[in-house]
Structure 1
Amino acid sequence: MRSKDRISYFYDGDVGNVYFGPNHPMKPHRLCMTHHLVLSYDLHHKMEIYRPHKAYPVELAQFHSPDYVEFLQRITPDTQELFSNEMVKHNLGEDCPIFENLFEFCQIYAGGTIDAARRLNNKLCDIAINWAGGLHHAKKCEASGFCYINDLVLGILELLKYHARVLYIDIDVHHGDGVEEAFYFTDRVMTVSFHKYGDMFFPGTGDVKDVGEREGKNYAINVPLRDGIDDGSFFRLFKMIILKVMECYVPGAIVLQCGADSLAGDRLGCFNLSIDGHAACVKFVKQLNLPLLVTGGGGYTKENVARCWTVETGALLDVELPNEIPENEYIKYFAPDYSLKCPSGHMENLNSKSYLNTIRQQVCENLSAIQHAPGVQMQEVPPDFYIPDFDEDQHNPDQRVNRK
């Protein structure tokens, strides 16, 4: 064990002020609730708190296509009529609506994950947390599943500057399709996603047979689950697969997406996990003692999202939190019992022992096919993104910037 983990925590109050619309399940307000709960338990005294920089368009374009980034910059609720063709092209509409300050929202949550990766790279902390991040469905040229910019891909690209291999783990109820797709052809990132799988369940991808292609063959691990999985069966499978992955892949850093829609009672989820069951996975990954970047993700019953990510902040700090929620600005949301832990649900667990065994065997088989800890020719480390210090509006694009 490291003597005491140094934890960096990223938060910008503006991230919770955007509004997806009246009937939309995504409520960024859950981030303010989480932050105030973290403060009410005095956890901020045990970590370094940072306000992330707003990611520059040039940083977002490290993964996303420049025309998509530019489109997000230009579009507003008032001008969307003028951009109907581009909206279709980039998949904006009902699931991914246009709202006030959309681009700034993307800049903040992506900036947090990029900053988190940089602090880890520069050994300024051991664990970095950005609960606003984890928007794992966004693709190179399009929005998807409430996600516009894929901060996870940007954070992983940052970590790859210093690490030969990065492990991505996803415990959101939905398949981490955007991250898997971004790294489907490389062995430098292994993606491991535990998710509900079925034709009728978004995004409909993530079969155990989808394992990556070309250099990336067998470096995408999918653990498709059925409704109602409970703490015990989820954690046993999680622990066994992650230990096997660590042994075969030997990553230099880990990115953990902690979508809270895998909790019992989530508005869009269908699992039976308690907060303790969800947090057990976070504690387990922390014990692997590698540079760790932790993000949020899905989660649509917002008081439970806030509870979950607060408990997990405590877990990363090795602090056991009292169950009675202290007075805070959002206390009324936690009525009537004002307690921190929410129990597992009562849905029938459709994951039989034999089904889980089959999945486990299949994953182990795929893992045994990989080259042990693939090597990589490490080049000189590229610099953290160089941000020119000028007013973009007044800049002549034909003139070269002095790289001082």
Structure 2
Amino acid sequence: MKTALIYSKDFSTYCFGVDHPFKLQRYRLAFELMRAYGLTDGAGKVVGEYPVVGDEDLLSFHAPDYLARLKEFNAASEPRADFLYGLGDVENPVFPGFFDWACLGTAGTVEAVRLVTEEGFDCAFNLAGGWHHAHRSRASGFSYVNDAVVAINRLVAKGKRVAYLDIDAHHGDGVQEAFYDTDRVLTISLHESGIYFFPGTGFENETGTGRGKGYAVNVPLLGHTDDALFMKAFDEVAFPLIAAYDPDVLVTQIGADTFRTDPLTRLEITTHSYSYIMRKLKALRIPWAAVGGGGYDMINVARAWTIAWACMNGVELSPRLPASFVELIAPLGYGNRMLLDAMHWSPEDDRNRALDAVEKSIAAIRATVFPVIIGCHG
């Protein structure tokens, strides 16, 4: 396998704010755990420098007036806010260099898709990507620029068909929005149900419009969905649809906020189902560009993305964290010792409700989406 890890020390040099749940130190911790396991020397290529992203790419999705405001606020010396564009509130703060930082991550995703389509790489993983909530003219959910949409638009412009899979705990609403009316991109999102959870979208009846009818797929999961149910949703919806669609490129958002110890979410998966999904995605043997995404327990993020990178390279890891990494995180207050978790089962009553919901979702998708995708591409 020819693989690339997109990582820059500059990923962690900005700050959303001391009290903001999104901590950019996650990138350094993930890279340090990969290094401790020997995954940055000889396991794939570490790409630390790559071309900047320009207006032509950004304007393929984002509105000119929105980009102008991003640039204006980025250069301002005093705090700024414009709630019309979702900028300057608690969720999406305007901090020094925020647009530079968003462009750095977006450029990494553009480079990842270039590597797998032009340079013969099998997998490329951009740690600082996955900003799936950014809309055409509005920041949302800690996302200012939608890197996946910008990168996928490049691929579509070259005639490529793309499958986008999102396993973050939050619905990939911005990506769905961008491709809701096209059959050139199949979007699939497994996420915590929007009935009570941000961004309040991503239900089974959101299946696309026009030529895109049947090409938007959503599996909303109830709180307490555990490993077995998460794997069930993947195996019975995502995997067969991706295989049938048989895209030229697979783009995945592999956020780690689905983990049961994440402070902002109520799903209950562990490294067990996360590892399983990574192995299944690799087995598809489709050129694969992965981007990071959410995760608000930094050690969960480091563990998840190290597992993903090891899987891409076919490396089996010790279930115990390396001693050097344990020494690094101990002064930060983390007592973690294990990379891998045991498979987790939710309490029976919670699990039964979650099982009923996922079976209902699967049945609805089989009735509405499968005839389109399997019928046209299977």
- Contact kept, 8 Å, 1:169 with 1:192, in 2: the verdict is yes
Q: Which residue of 1 aligns with 2:135?
A: 139
Gaps in structure 2 of 5+ consecutive residues: none
Secondary structure of the equivalent of 1:75?
helix
CA shift at 1:338, angstroms? 2.4
Q: Which residue of 2 aligns with 1:74?
A: 72
Gaps in structure 1 of 5+ consecutive residues: 376-404
Q: Which residue of 2 aligns with 1:13?
A: 9
Q: Which residue of 2 aligns with 1:109?
A: 105
Q: Which residue of 2 aligns with 1:49?
A: 46
- Contact kept, 8 Å, 1:248 with 1:370, in 2: the verdict is no
- Contact kept, 8 Å, 1:228 with 1:350, in 2: the verdict is no
- Contact kept, 8 Å, 2:123 with 2:287, in 1: the verdict is yes
- Contact kept, 8 Å, 1:193 with 1:221, in 2: the verdict is yes
Q: Which residue of 1 aligns with 2:363?
A: 361
Instruction: Provide closer, same or farther for how the CA distance between residues 207 and 371 of structure 1 changes in structure 2, counting only shifts above 3 A.
Output: closer
In the alignment, does 2:356 pair up with 1:340?
no
Q: Distance between the aligned counterparts of 1:371 and 1:229, measured in 2?
A: 26
Aligned-pair identity (%): 32
Residues 162-171 or 95-104, more deviating: 162-171
Instruction: Provide closer, same or farther for how the CA distance between residues 337 and 218 of structure 1 changes in structure 2, counting only shifts above 3 A.
Output: closer
The match for 1:211 among 207, 210, 221 is 207
Could you tell me which amino acid in structure 1 is paired with residue 46 of structure 2? Answer: I
Instruction: Provide closer, same or farther for how the CA distance between residues 371 and 127 of structure 1 changes in structure 2, counting only shifts above 3 A.
Output: closer
The match for 2:122 among 87, 112, 126 is 126
Residues 291-300 or 98-107, more deviating: 98-107
Q: Which residue of 1 aligns with 2:58?
A: 60
- Contact kept, 8 Å, 1:31 with 1:131, in 2: the verdict is yes
Could you tell me which amino acid in structure 1 is paired with residue 140 of structure 2? Answer: S
Higher helix share: 2
CA shift at 1:78, angstroms? 5.3
In the alignment, does 2:259 pair up with 1:260?
no
Listed as ranges, the matches of 1:2-401 within 5 Å are 5-44=1-40, 45-51=42-48, 52-76=50-74, 79=77, 84=81, 87-92=82-87, 93-326=89-322, 327-328=324-325, 330-332=328-330, 333=332, 335-343=334-342, 344=344, 348-349=350-351, 351-370=353-372
Instruction: Provide closer, same or farther for how the CA distance between residues 260 and 53 of structure 1 changes in structure 2, counting only shifts above 3 A.
Output: same
Instruction: Provide closer, same or farther for how the CA distance between residues 371 and 318 of structure 1 changes in structure 2, counting only shifts above 3 A.
Output: closer
Q: Distance between the aligned counterparts of 2:321 and 2:370, measured in 1?
A: 46
Q: Distance between the aligned counterparts of 2:152 and 2:204, measured in 1?
A: 23
Q: Deviations over 1:130-170 (max 9, x none)?
A: 01101100011110000000001012112224454211101
Secondary structure of the equivalent of 2:51?
coil
CA shift at 1:275, angstroms? 1.2
- Contact kept, 8 Å, 2:320 with 2:337, in 1: the verdict is yes
Q: Distance between the aligned counterparts of 2:354 and 2:69, measured in 1?
A: 46
Q: Distance between the aligned counterparts of 2:242 and 2:52, measured in 1?
A: 33
Q: Which residue of 2 aligns with 1:398?
A: none
Instruction: Provide closer, same or farther for how the CA distance between residues 364 and 241 of structure 1 changes in structure 2, counting only shifts above 3 A.
Output: same
Could you tell me which amino acid in structure 2 is paired with residue 338 of structure 1? Answer: R
- Contact kept, 8 Å, 1:331 with 1:338, in 2: the verdict is no
Secondary structure of the equivalent of 2:372?
coil
Q: Distance between the aligned counterparts of 2:31 and 2:159, measured in 1?
A: 30
CA shift at 1:105, angstroms? 0.6
CA shift at 1:102, angstroms? 0.7
Secondary structure of the equivalent of 1:46?
coil
Residues 318-327 or 200-209, more deviating: 318-327
Secondary structure of the equivalent of 2:360?
helix
Instruction: Provide closer, same or farther for how the CA distance between residues 248 and 324 of structure 1 changes in structure 2, counting only shifts above 3 A.
Output: closer
- Contact kept, 8 Å, 1:190 with 1:220, in 2: the verdict is yes
CA shift at 1:337, angstroms? 4.2
Secondary structure of the equivalent of 2:190?
strand
Aligned residues: 368
- Contact kept, 8 Å, 1:227 with 1:350, in 2: the verdict is no
CA shift at 1:79, angstroms? 4.6
Q: Which has the larger radius of gyration?
A: 1
Secondary structure of the equivalent of 1:32?
helix
Instruction: Provide closer, same or farther for how the CA distance between residues 277 and 371 of structure 1 changes in structure 2, counting only shifts above 3 A.
Output: closer
- Contact kept, 8 Å, 2:223 with 2:354, in 1: the verdict is no
- Contact kept, 8 Å, 2:224 with 2:354, in 1: the verdict is no
Instruction: Provide closer, same or farther for how the CA distance between residues 303 and 249 of structure 1 changes in structure 2, counting only shifts above 3 A.
Output: same
Structure-1-length-normalised TM-score: 0.86
Instruction: Provide closer, same or farther for how the CA distance between residues 370 and 164 of structure 1 changes in structure 2, counting only shifts above 3 A.
Output: farther
